[in-house]
A and B are shown apart, each in its own frame.
Chain A
Amino acid sequence: MSQSDFVRRLDMGGSALYGERTRWQRIHVDLTLLLLLLALCAAGLFVLYSASGQSEYYVRRQAMWMGGGLVAMLFVAQLTPRFLERWAVLPYAVGVLLLVAVLWLGIEAKGAQRWLDLGVIRFQPSEILKLAGPLMLASYLSKRRLPPVFRHVFWSLVLLLLPAVLIVKQPDLGTALLILAAGLFVLFLAGLPKRYMIGALGAAMVLAPLAWFYLLHDYQKQRIITLLDPQADKLGAGWNIIQSTTAIGSGGVGGKGWIQGTQSQLDFLPESHTDFIIAVLAEEFGLVGITLLLSLYLLIVARGLLISLHAQSMFGRLLAGSITLTFFVYVFVNMGMVSGVLPVVGVPLPLVSYGGTSIVTLLSGFGILMAISTERKRT
């Protein structure tokens, strides 16, 4: 049995990736993925209502962003992977230019310069790179012979590090790391030789202490210290982690009930409707709720990986795989930091945390997945 046959078997009905195109496929929609995403959005709104202190305003705005995101997703899904591959350099170049611009013209908020004011809306150019980065790299590498040779790895890293360094400058280490991760996933899936990976790991271990002294800002170091010992500064830096673990732990198996979470409803939990929203879910719906949500995420990841395996071109495979794995990184980093096993970096819980830009970016990413999954068989 060839591997393609095996993959074909993995696809359990639903939308036939091969053979007859369904009505959904004709309009470039992966129905399974769409249903999973809609379920996630619904769950997100449900938790947000409680986490925002029963604010209809927040829920309505979030729903509008989700609607906008879905429209963007359906739009992106109409583009063919061939088109994306050809024009990948365009969003990448625009994104990098805007990142340079933001250093000069950006608006400062919360001590970081991330925003660009376009009159109508403000947006963060770094969001573009979340998709443009892996797009660029997938486009670059898929044209090369795989596994990549040193020269191609080198240029890939240059393409990757250019926006990452600009974003670190803002400073926004969390986003930079996510973009770096997305690019590295492309390299990894493209078959980056093991010796490079081992070498990079070794270099990282050597460089980590140097980064501690020369690269990290004080507040970033503080976050790592806090992670190791949250009790050291209970009311200061440790407050978030202590309160979020308390919220999670006090939820128990079954949770305290919707809108019954005392930690979140009485404002003990900081950022309860944005980055720390998973703690609200954990408090109010317990381990049962966490398991259900995590399962939903894993189903989406599984679907994404399946799409990547079915993709018609190496470009589609690399891009779909990278987008899917980055999506999981969001989930893992967010759930990890809120539960106190990772340092606090500003990573939202995908499609659940309140915040418009990230929703549109994420759903646009899934639009790319749909475009790849519904591509006509290349001849």
Chain B
Amino acid sequence: MIQDRTFKDPNREYRLFFYRVSVAAFAVLVLAGGLLWRYYHLQVVRHQDFATQSENNRVHVRPVAPNRGLIYDRNGVLLADNRAGYTLSLVVERIDDMDGMLAELEQLIDLQAEEVERFERLLKRRKPYEAVPLRFNLTEKEQGIIAVNEYRLPGVEITAQLIRHYPHGKLLAHVLGYVGRINDRELAAIDPVRYSGTYVIGKTGLEKEYEDDLLGDVGYEYVETNARGRVMRKLERIDPAAGKDLHLYLDIRLQRAAYEALGEERGAVVVMDTRTGGVLAMVSKPSFDANLFVTGIGVKAYRDLLESPDRPLFDRVLQGQYPPGSTVKPVFGLAALETGAVTPQTTIYDPGFFRLENRKHRYRDWKKGGHGTRVDLHEAIVESCDTYFYSAGVKMGIEQLFRYGSRFGFGHKTGIDMPSERPGIMPSPDWKRGARGVAWYPGDTVNSSIGQGFMLATPLQLSVAASRLASRGEIRSPRMVRAVGEDAIGSRPPAGIIEAAPSHWDYVLGAMRDVVHGERGTARRIAEGITYEMAGKTGTAQVVNIAQDAEYDAEELEKHQRDHALFIAYAPVEEPQVAIGILVENGEHGSTTAAPIARQVFDVYMGLSDDRGEVLAADVPE
């Protein structure tokens, strides 16, 4: 060591040190210059890019969902409204560990597997920085739990959303339908811009039919968000335009009356205003609570509804197709008069059956032993004599039955403003060849002439036929909605008129009156204590091939093979206002189960028209 020191040369060492410091100073200047160049490059050369990027970071455009249009009955009673609900949503970009976050939330609010599954489905089609809903309808307690833990849940948001609500529940489930989550198939069909911010779409009923009007137009909000996606302030807002409200012809009081009149039966009731085609009541029973579907029904609850033997989800009014039975007799009676197949004076002898010429097969009348001698058309309608119509039908031929049946609305869709309507069947040789691939037999005409055989009708078609009879042939499509938003659709003239001699109308409608008010009328029992006049026709339809699930127990099976009870009617007879079509599944006799429903509903209607005549009359064209 001492050696080292002795050989030290301070001057040489200092020169070397000075040189090295100079090199270092030079290097420092070069590196500092490099840094400055780098910052110059970022801040001057690429400034515009970064300024834009920083602005995009900060400002986000968020869609603001429009309020869905409300639905009112004819008197302004709210049938579908929107209620504030609180939704828990996640902004994926702000969550590092999604599984961990879900596990955390699971601890806090008891997440269901279905919710997580739905959330993951929604994740796949989210937009960047969009909050994806995980749980709808947070309870106050859950909101509190989330709020308290907010600091350790970055990317978790609670947002207030309007959620569809149906205050009348089961009463209108099939009429209004319901809204539900947009599924993948619907997503492919909709305009994604209009639906940004909207998670639901009309699935069935009026909600589906008037989706376009109810939806409204999306608004936008420019918000400044911080890095965790939390909104710091709102910069600008373009308000959404609320969807248009629907005003229905329907009267909730009449709807309730019809719903209650059906009691525990499975069936359908449709009440129409004969002057406008407006549907005043439309009931399919059993029903369900549409509110269950709005935020997503649970698997078990859905399976219960789906698998119930009573088929509550099935809309019998529009989709149930039943043999109309004897309710077609006024229609075919008018046809027989018009075609000259019979005259008011034509009478037959009814031994209790009908036989085609040279055939042995007996087509039985419902009444054992028959209606006896001198049965004319009036009696044939009032007492529902099948044999008379067998003979008249064969005389007219299937072409005439088809022609008149079609004019009264059978065999094709009524054109009501509702989705998923089914057409029923008005059979004809052409139809049979097309649908069944076999020729028309004379026996088919016999069955068709009393509304049996191949003939099928929806309860809506029954009410349409009743309305066309009541209005003496005015052809109108049934309508649910009388006004969309401020635009009243207004009453329109009939689309056409079924031409028939006034005397023939008088004859047939007179017979329908006597079905109720005549001494021997099949529905005479419902006339007791009545203060107005109504006309109607009973029907009993044989159940031929109803779908039978293996699960039905013996008693159920037996019940499901009973006849369906039907009734069509209108009132008052002098100046008809309202027509009804009624079907009671396995109700056995139109006269005992279906007809009393018409009386109950009409009683309520007549009471209402006394009270609020001006309201109900408002639709009548001048």
Interface on A for B, CB 8 Å cutoff?
A: 3-4, 7, 143-147, 185, 188-191, 235-236, 243, 245-253, 262-263, 266-268, 282, 286-287, 290-291, 294, 297-298, 301-302, 305, 308-309, 314, 317-318, 321, 325, 328, 332, 335-336, 339, 341
Contacts and interface: CB of A to CB of B under 8 A. Distances in A.
A266 B58 contact: yes
Contact of A282 (B5, B39, B224, B226): B39
B488 interface: no
Contacts of A314: 10, 13-14, 17
Contacts of A294: 32, 35-36
A347 to B, nearest CB: 14
A286 B43 contact: yes
Interface in B32-62: 32, 35-36, 38-40, 42-44, 46-47, 49-51, 53-55, 57-58
Contact of A268 (B31, B35, B57): B57
A235 B224 CA distance: 19
Nearest to A283: B54
A3 B18 contact: yes
Contact of A287 (B40, B49, B57, B225): B40
The 6 tightest CB contacts between A and B, nearest first, are A249-B50, A250-B54, A267-B227, A266-B226, A191-B16, A249-B42
Which of B43, B47, B227 lies at the interface centre, i.e. has the most chain A CB atoms within 10 A of its CB?
Answer: B43
B4 A143 contact: yes
Given A246-B54, A249-B50, A332-B31, A321 B21 contact: yes
A185 B17 CA distance: 11
Nearest to B224: A266
Nearest to A288: B43
A147 B16 CA distance: 8
B24 interface: yes
A344 to B, nearest CB: 15
Contacts of A236: 96
A190 B20 CA distance: 8
Given A251-B43, A282-B39, A335-B35, A262 B57 contact: yes
Interface of B: 1, 4-5, 7-10, 13-18, 20-21, 24-25, 28-29, 31-32, 35-36, 38-40, 42-44, 46-47, 49-51, 53-55, 57-58, 93, 96, 224-228, 232
8 contacts: A143-B1, A146-B16, A189-B24, A191-B13, A294-B36, A302-B25, A325-B24, A328-B28
A97 to B, nearest CB: 25
Contacts of A249: 42-43, 46-47, 49-51, 53-54
A252 B18 contact: no
A286 B16 CA distance: 40
A248 B18 contact: no
Given A263-B57, A291-B36, A339-B38, A321 B24 contact: yes
Contacts of B9: 145
B36 A253 contact: no
A302 B14 CA distance: 18
Nearest to B93: A235
Given A143-B4, A191-B20, A249-B49, A305 B25 contact: yes
Contact of A332 (B17, B35, B49, B51): B35
A120 B58 CA distance: 43
A339 to B, nearest CB: 5
A280 B154 CA distance: 23
A309 B44 contact: no
Contacts of B58: 262-263, 266, 268
B225 A266 contact: yes
A306 to B, nearest CB: 9
Contacts of B17: 146, 189-191, 309, 314, 317-318, 321
Contacts of A302: 25
B339 to A, nearest CB: 79
A271 to B, nearest CB: 12
A298 B16 contact: no
Given A249-B50, A325-B24, A266 B13 contact: no
Contact of B20 (A188, A253, A290): A188
Contact of B24 (A143, A188, A246): A188
Contacts of B31: 328, 332
Nearest to B14: A3
A266 B47 contact: no
A262 B227 CA distance: 10
A140 to B, nearest CB: 11
